[in-house]
Amino acid sequence: MRTSSTIELSFKAIEHNLRFLRKMLNNRVKISSVVKGNAYGHGVELYVPAAERCGIDHFSVFSVDEARMVASVKQPETTVMIMGWIPVDELSWVINNDIEFWIFETDRLEACLKIARSLNRKAFIHLELETGMNRTGLTRKEISEIIPILLENRDIVKLVGLCTHLAGAESIANYTRIHRQIKLFKNLIKLFHDNDLHPVLVHAASSAATIAYPAFRFDMVRVGILQFGYWPSKETFIHYISHRKDKIDPLKRIISWKTEIMALKYINQGEFISYGTAYFATEDKQIAIIPTGYAHGYSRSLSNSGRVLIHGHFADVIGMINMNMLIADVSSILDVKVGDEVVLIGNQLDMSISVASFSELSNQMNYELLARLPKGITRRLIQ
């Protein structure tokens, strides 16, 4: 089936970014490739095997449905780790398939022990410690209750990791808070070692902390957005580049999102274009109707402000983004025809258009626009 737009992933760019990360981290720090949100919209089915070809053997997801998706395409020896949601009735699938998972509540540990016993199979767990993010995580009190349980049940649970999540390493405003978190994290880890519990992997850093706080990389980093070629924030990029001589962005964008012109039309000066009065033609225009809208993940907030590439030239998005269509002004582009390629994100001839370049909005736009790219769009891996 062909959909009205296509997403292409560049294998070369995947390889390039993962090689950059590997080099930066030496061989001491393990990489867990975070592929929640359908690999940030890139598509788990294509991305996971491609990343494996580049040496990745550990993937992190948010939920059990995402873990099932990764499990269905990964190599047998590759590890999957669930960082968040697992309903109790899915725990047996998780344990049966050696999926690693985070425990942030005593109740979940109890349920996990019960199921592991009944299956007579070991559960591989990471304990998430509350260090100040105040979302999920075990408090010091809960930890002291859990330690004896872990000791008693060593035959059936393996403490693979101790982890925490930092509350905004992409912004210097959180510097003190993050240092406090790490201090507490180290204190809590000591409680385990004092009780002869020695996890294999201590981990805390996502992309931003991997760059901005090298001392907090511990045994493993959980890298999401960086591997796809985007910086978690402008600040993180500036932090990286300020320590470099060459001042070159070391990352490459992986994704290209393409469609084609569906229809063309001439509009007279004085007309409004598309719904309502959002766009008024102050001169005669040629417009291209493009079969991509907010139902396909092209944000409505790009109404009257996005840009697309046609014949290697920028064309402004005019009027409101519709559910399935958008309109671009092609008045100044020669010889456009129905069926001509339109690049929504990516490169065309010498020009390139990125998610963040759409507007001056925060980099949050990268995460959000990518994650909203629907699963149903045709995806292809290219060299």
Ligand X SMILES: *Cc1c(COP(=O)(O)O)cnc(C)c1O
Could you please report the per-residue DSSP string of 79-138?
A: EEEE-S---GGGHHHHHHTT-EEEE-SHHHHHHHHHHHHHHT--EEEEEEBPSSS-SS-B
- Letters for 113-152 (x = contact with ligand X by CB under 6 A, - = none) are ----------------------------------------
The span from the CA of 130 to the CA of 36, in Å, is 21
- Residue 161 sits in the site that holds ligand X (CB under 6 A): no
Query: Dihedral through CA 197, CA 203, CA 204, CA 209, nearest 10?
Result: 150
Residue 338: CB atoms within 10 A of its CB come to: 11
Out of 51, 56, 99, 225, name the contact with ligand X by CB under 6 A: 225
**Cβ pair 67, 99 in contact under 8 A:** yes
**Cβ pair 181, 147 in contact under 8 A:** no
What value, to the nearest 5°, has the Cα angle with vertex 187 and ends 182 and 193? 125
Total number of residues binding ligand X (CB under 6 A)?
12
Q: What is the largest CA-CA distance in the chain?
A: 80
Q: How far is the CB of 344 from ligand X (least distance, A)?
A: 22
Three-state SS at 187: helix
- Residue 34 sits in the site that holds ligand X (CB under 6 A): yes
Nearer to ligand X, 48 or 223 (CB): 223
Nearer to ligand X, 210 or 299 (CB): 210
Nearer to ligand X, 208 or 317 (CB): 208
- Residue 223 sits in the site that holds ligand X (CB under 6 A): yes
- Residue 355 sits in the site that holds ligand X (CB under 6 A): no
Nearer to ligand X, 34 or 355 (CB): 34
- Letters for 50-79 (x = contact with ligand X by CB under 6 A, - = none) are ------------------------------
Out of 126, 217, 222, 296, name the contact with ligand X by CB under 6 A: 222
231 CA to centre of own chain: 11
- Residue 204 sits in the site that holds ligand X (CB under 6 A): no
- Residue 206 sits in the site that holds ligand X (CB under 6 A): yes
**Torsion-angle region of 309 (φ positive above 0: left; ψ -120 to 50: alpha; else: beta):** beta
* Binding segment (CB under 6 A) for ligand X, from list 193-201, 204-212, 280-288, 370-378: 204-212
- Residue 207 sits in the site that holds ligand X (CB under 6 A): yes
Contacts with ligand X, residue ranges (CB under 6 A): 34, 36, 83, 165, 206-208, 222-225, 232
